[in-house]
Structure formats: structure tokens, C-alpha cells
A = this chain, B = another copy of it.
């Protein structure tokens, strides 16, 4: 595992969370991105609940269900964008000052791969 020093460069505009235990081996998600991603995922969860209820009805029609699933996938993509943007700003854009560019880029490319 790579070591990631606590020191944050001044250029990082992302607000660091009070409860964050950032340390040599850990970077915390910016609080704003964390809150906004949670809000979006909560909405997606409500939407998913509605699809599950919809599937209790023997009259449900396939294409209606497909459309609803696509809508939830869109909401999850939106939450993923919030997280990715926060990560790029707070951690990737500051990587060369911490010296962990190679690890962070490798890790991110891996995480983006499986859609």
C-alpha cells in the first residue's frame, strides 16, 4: 500500500471533513461530495423501491420496467460523477505534491474500468 502523507497542499479547494482520520495511508472524501453523493443515492434508493413494488403487479409491462431501471442507472451515474469530481479535485490534482501520482492514477483507472 502506498503512503499518503496528511499534509494537504493549499491548492486543494475541497473542504476537509472534521471527522476525517486522514493519515499516511488514508485520504478522506471531501465532505461536500460525501453529502451530495449520499443525497443522490438516497433518491436512487427510493426510485429502486418503487420499481420493486411495480414488479409485484402481474400487469407490469417489460418496457416500463426497463425505462425505470435506466432512470436509476442514470441517478447512480450522477452520484458517481459527484464522487469522481471530488476525488479528482481533492486527491488526484494534488497527487504530485504528495508523491503518489502513480498509485492514484492506477487505482482510478482500475475503478473506472468496470461499468
Contact surface of A with B, Cβ cutoff 8 Å: 9, 11-13, 17-21, 26-29, 31, 33-35, 37-38, 41-42, 44-45, 48-49, 51-52, 55-63, 65-67, 69-70, 72-74, 76-77, 79-81, 83-97, 99, 101-102, 104-105, 107-109, 111-115
Contact = CB atoms under 8 A, between A and B. Distances in A.
Decide if the interface of chain A is mainly helix, strand, loop or mixed.
helix
B17 A33 contact: no
B114 A87 contact: no
A104 to B, nearest CB: 7
Contacts of A19: 57-59
B81 A65 contact: no
Contact of A111 (B63, B99, B101): B63
Nearest to A52: B41
Contact of A20 (B58, B65, B97, B105): B58
